[in-house]
Structure 1
Amino acid sequence: MTPLGRPSGNRHRRSSPLGLRATVAITLALLVLGTTLAKGLVIGNGAADALAREIGASMTGLAQSLARQLDSTMWARANQFAALARIEALQDPAVAQSTIDELKRRDSTIAWIGMTDATGRVVAASDGLLLHADIASRPVHQEGMKGLFVGDVHEAVALKGKVKYLRDETPKFVDVSAPLRKADGTVAGVLAAHYSWAWAHASIRELTEPLGDHKSLTLYILSADGTVLIGPDSAVGKPLPVPSLLEKPQDGWRTDVWPDGVAYVTGVAHGKGLHDYAGLGWTVVARQPADVVYAETHRLQLMIIVSGLVLAVLFSVIGWFAAGRIARPLSAIADAAERIRQGEHGVVIPEAGGAAEIRRLSVSLRDLIDSLTNKDAALMRLEDIAYEDRLTALPNRRYFEQYVEASTGGDGSATVMYIDLDGFKPINDRLGHDAGDTVLRQVGGRLATIFRDDDVVARLGGDEFAAVLPRRAGRPAPDLSGLADRVIAVVNEAVSVNGEKVRVGCSIGISAWPEDAADMHTVMRYADAALYKAKRDGRNRAVRWSREVADAASH
């Protein structure tokens, strides 16, 4: 009876997959065909809206790209001037003239560049323009005497007819200037430049020329007060024809009818500056006629219907053959994934059979879930390893240098202390490296208890330590002398190594930013020089960097 019954059972089991295949094939065909027809019926509105959103997003993206490019260009120029102004040699008019000529030769967007003395008299200038002229009343000089200055677009009447590529019009410029400071900090003059507004037109060309439909695209660049700086000739120098576009401070897009009676899809982006450059408040508006969007609607409608019919047939055939191999393993994977989502422990994604892709999917999902489970812990361990000194548990040199770079900027100030142990090498040589490690751990722990919560003390390597003490507004400056005495005192306390009491001392070098130098790397070098002065003077003491220390180090 068993052999006879087996074929009947097999026929019953085979009929089930066939039914599933037919169900999947028909369902897929109906779904694809129904969806396609539905889209075809409503494409007049739906597709147009979708295209409008896409083009609107493109308009916003284009405006944002141009705004970022304008801000990036001005930020780079401001940084260039800030760096040049730090070069003391530029205070010599002859050196300044040579440098100015070279800059003018290399950068075609510089219309004029010059240097003034403290009274506002031009002592060096490109092409001799305005040489010996008094520009003390000009913002480029007045603001440059105070600090780094970036001036908004303006006309330069004094240069009309003197700039070759703008000979027939009053040129427009963007100003950049920075103070030239003497060693004592007093301002000796100003390094200033007028950048031709033509570079903004070049930025627009670079962005729009790769676009196939750029001829129907219009770009406006507006000043902070809403005046059109770049745009159609009839709009330049006037407020934007659709002022409601500027009411919201956020970037975005919308469709509006402009005064010419044409509906435009318009994207708006506001310049936000870059890094420490706050920007000039420019706004970029990009628009494209809405007709360009809706002209594609009918073509897209036909394309969707035809492609939908093809896909309906294709998916029904694919579904017929694939359903039997796909449904069962996918169902098993889905069940396991659902149990995992519900928080059930010990569940793994099964390694499903069937198609090779399904097997790969199950293995990949299982590995992915394991990886995600352990990811946070692994990242924390990696971060600890990267920034922590494993011997003392203090921050290491990498963390210390990155912290110094990130925290010493703007209007703040900080003190750097370099600490080097005295008498450590004999202990290390006599008692061994394990004893030396014990001493370093003890000293590191003591140093960690002395400094304030927002101070950072780190082990730089070997028996070298360092601390940075940021000074916050509204808080009293630390008593550096008393702090150094406490550091020396705790380091001098005996350390027990295998029952033997050993002692080390320490020498300390101190330097302050920005009092000693505006550059933090220089301040750290000064602290190191002061440290070696302390060692030469007898060790186990602190030395504050001064010019006398520098003079002694050079002899």
Structure 2
Amino acid sequence: MSLNLRTLFSTAFAVIIILLTALLSYVIGNRSTQSVEVSIGSSLAEEAYQMSEKLDHFMWSRSGEVEVLSKLDAFQEPVDASEVSGLLDQLKKSLPVFTWVGFLDNKGNVLSSTDHILQGTNISQRPVFQEGLKGTFIGDVHDAVLLSKLLPNPSGEALQFVDVSVPVTGKQGQINGVLAAHLSWEWSREVEASIVTPLKERLKGVEVFVVSRKDDTILLGPKALVGKRMPNEVLQKARSGNSSWIIEQEQNQDSYLTGYAYGDGYMNYPGLGWSVIIRQPAEIAFASVHQLERFILISGLITAAVFAIIGWLLAGWISRPLGDITRTADLLSSGADVEIPSSTRFKDVAILSESLRNLVNNLTKTESKLSYMSDMALHDKLTGLPNRAALDEFLAHAVSKAKQNRTTLSFLYLDLDGFKKVNDTFGHAIGDALLQEIAFRLMDCTRDNEIVARLGGDEFVIILNTSAGKPMQEAEIVASRIISKINLPIMIRGEDLHVGCSVGAAVWTPDGGSDTIETLRLADEALYISKRSGKNRITFEAAS
């Protein structure tokens, strides 16, 4: 009987540990995979968004420079060809990305150009002239036709350009001609390097693609893939306008963790619809997870063998007093008035039995008391909203998460307009009911991962999770929604009540140099500016 019990114990220990190891490996593997997906995927999506922004900003800047140049008096009739040539050469010298710049008359003849290339040539059939007559034109990446044999090309590779052209109008509004420029596509490599080089130091095997909206052609990427078409799935997601990430499975090939973004323009530049794709092979991305799973499995098997031996040795020695405790516990569960026995054989078993007696007596009431105290300490009694202590606790976690995700926190400091009048006119009971309704409305305007806290009186603070790119715009949308909702009539005990809401806002950024206490103070100052400016509005603190 004793031998069978030992065998049972050792086998049970081994099986339980193996099952727990398998479960632990599965759970940790899944959670780690999800964590890696979110961490690396978000990083890739953020880098894709930044590169898309840089590409669009660059094109916006260059088109603006050409447009400003076209307004100079030198291009007015009669045209001073030498002065125009000087201006064009100076532009190319200052910005070498302008490979060729030329001034065309309204018939398409090149009157002046950098280095006199194509000067005297008629290019009226080229899109850069035809579209330039209609207005500002920015053409997608294309191979050189006329310029390929005229421009220096040390690399020997095919030259590619992006076109920019604007109409040149006279003082009477007539079109005198077109100012056209070809930008070398090599500038995109500089943008790529500024984004990808730091990324490759952190993540191995990263590839970057810039894909044209026209024919889904790869404009920038590994040399072997430039000029080929990109699969449609990731492009469709990118062209939805959102910057995000997916796990991409290419047909009969490896899978990738892919971040994407869509270039929808900058300021008044509408963009050329370039999609930026940054990906990393999933095998590389999840290598650390696979190593962890193997380590857990091997460790679990070794642990199972060790514990099986230990269980076999200790089972017979320990099982008898534990059996007495177990039988007594069964009697307790059936309602018998007995106590868990103590044992003199093992000191640890004696301590265990005493601890179990204390645990049974105190666990329920202790747990209830702790739960009640915790809830009272972190919530406002009137509205049930988190109080200042809960806000501080939330911010500690929110700041850490924002730093990890490279996002921002927007602070909205709210004060009700007209609340004192309601309180004085209808009494504190109505005022308290009004505050409770306001709390419901504020919570309805926020998301689950954000917080609405009452600091006292009719002052509230809302912490929003906002992006790194447009936190003020996102915060203003939420604040406007809050103001609109607060302004709706509130019916309490037959009384139709009306109050407004003034909002002060400030944005905390991970690299901004200020802590959350300072940001909250800035939001409070902005609130008083809203109050002094007419109330029922939002003001962003300028110093934030």
TM value normalised by structure 1: 0.51
CA deviation map 1:399-422 (0-9, x unaligned): xxxxxxxxxxxxxxxxxxxxxxxx
Measured in 2, the distance between the counterparts of 1:330 and 1:131 equals 86
Summarize the alignment of residues 162-201 of structure 1 with structure 2, pairs less than 5 Å apart: 162-165=150-153, 168-201=156-189
CA 1:166–1:152: 2 relative to 1, 3 Å: farther
SS at match of 2:140: strand
Summarize the alignment of residues 85-100 of structure 1 with structure 2, pairs less than 5 Å apart: 85-91=70-76, 92-100=80-88
Measured in 2, the distance between the counterparts of 1:246 and 1:378 equals 40
**Contact 1:64–1:270, Cα closer than 8 Å, also in 2:** yes
Partner of 2:90 in structure 1? 102
Summarize the alignment of residues 421-432 of structure 1 with structure 2, pairs less than 5 Å apart: none
Shift of 1:159: 1.1
- Tell me which of 248, 263, 266 is aligned to 1:274: 266
- Tell me which of 116, 119, 128 is aligned to 1:128: 116
Partner of 2:502 in structure 1? 377
Measured in 2, the distance between the counterparts of 1:181 and 1:387 equals 46
Question: What residue ranges of structure 1 are gaps of 5+ in the alignment?
Answer: 1-34, 307-323, 351-356, 358-364, 389-555
CA deviation map 1:308-329 (0-9, x unaligned): xxxxxxxxxxxxxxxx9xx999
Shift of 1:196: 0.2
Q: Is it true that 1:231 corresponds to 2:216 in the alignment? A: no
Measured in 1, the distance between the counterparts of 2:138 and 2:250 equals 33
Partner of 2:149 in structure 1? 161
Shift of 1:45: 2.2
Measured in 2, the distance between the counterparts of 1:268 and 1:120 equals 40
Measured in 2, the distance between the counterparts of 1:136 and 1:192 equals 12
Partner of 1:54 in structure 2? 39
Shift of 1:386: 5.5
Measured in 2, the distance between the counterparts of 1:256 and 1:154 equals 28
Q: Out of 218-227 and 248-257, give the one that drifted further.
A: 248-257
Shift of 1:79: 1.6
**Contact 1:221–1:282, Cα closer than 8 Å, also in 2:** yes
Shift of 1:162: 2.6
Q: Which amino acid aligns with 1:219?
A: V
CA deviation map 1:300-358 (0-9, x unaligned): 5699999xxxxxxxxxxxxxxxxx9xx99993883572413348xxx9979xxxxxx9x
SS at match of 2:194: helix
CA 1:257–1:133: 2 relative to 1, 3 Å: same
Q: Is it true that 1:70 corresponds to 2:58 in the alignment? A: no
CA 1:160–1:294: 2 relative to 1, 3 Å: same
Partner of 1:480 in structure 2? none
Q: Which amino acid aligns with 2:63?
A: A
Measured in 2, the distance between the counterparts of 1:304 and 1:369 equals 51
**Contact 2:98–2:184, Cα closer than 8 Å, also in 1:** yes
Q: Is it true that 1:247 corresponds to 2:253 in the alignment? A: no
Partner of 1:82 in structure 2? 67
Summarize the alignment of residues 296-307 of structure 1 with structure 2, pairs less than 5 Å apart: 296-298=288-290
CA deviation map 1:189-226 (0-9, x unaligned): 11111000001111111111112145501111111121
Shift of 1:381: 6.3
**Contact 1:333–1:349, Cα closer than 8 Å, also in 2:** no
Name segments (4+ residues, structure 1) moved above 3 Å: 35-41, 298-306, 327-336, 347-350, 365-381, 383-388
TM value normalised by structure 2: 0.52
Q: Which amino acid aligns with 2:266?
A: L
Measured in 2, the distance between the counterparts of 1:336 and 1:81 equals 60
SS at match of 1:146: coil
Root mean square deviation of aligned Cα = 3.7
Shift of 1:153: 0.8
Shift of 1:247: 2.8
Summarize the alignment of residues 223-372 of structure 1 with structure 2, pairs less than 5 Å apart: 223-225=212-214, 226-240=216-230, 242-248=231-237, 249-250=239-240, 251=242, 252-259=244-251, 261-298=253-290, 331=373, 334-335=376-377, 337-342=379-384, 368-369=455-456, 372=459
Question: What residue ranges of structure 2 are gaps of 5+ in the alignment?
Answer: 1-19, 300-365, 390-395, 397-451, 463-500, 505-526, 536-544
Q: Which amino acid aligns with 2:165?
A: S
Measured in 2, the distance between the counterparts of 1:131 and 1:387 equals 62
Shift of 1:234: 2.9
**Contact 1:147–1:179, Cα closer than 8 Å, also in 2:** yes
Measured in 1, the distance between the counterparts of 2:29 and 2:374 equals 42
CA 1:39–1:107: 2 relative to 1, 3 Å: farther
CA deviation map 1:407-451 (0-9, x unaligned): xxxxxxxxxxxxxxxxxxxxxxxxxxxxxxxxxxxxxxxxxxxxx
CA 1:88–1:340: 2 relative to 1, 3 Å: farther
Q: Which amino acid aligns with 2:270?
A: A
Shift of 1:164: 2.1
Q: Which amino acid aligns with 2:502?
A: A
What percent of counterpart residues are identical?
31
Measured in 2, the distance between the counterparts of 1:46 and 1:104 equals 54
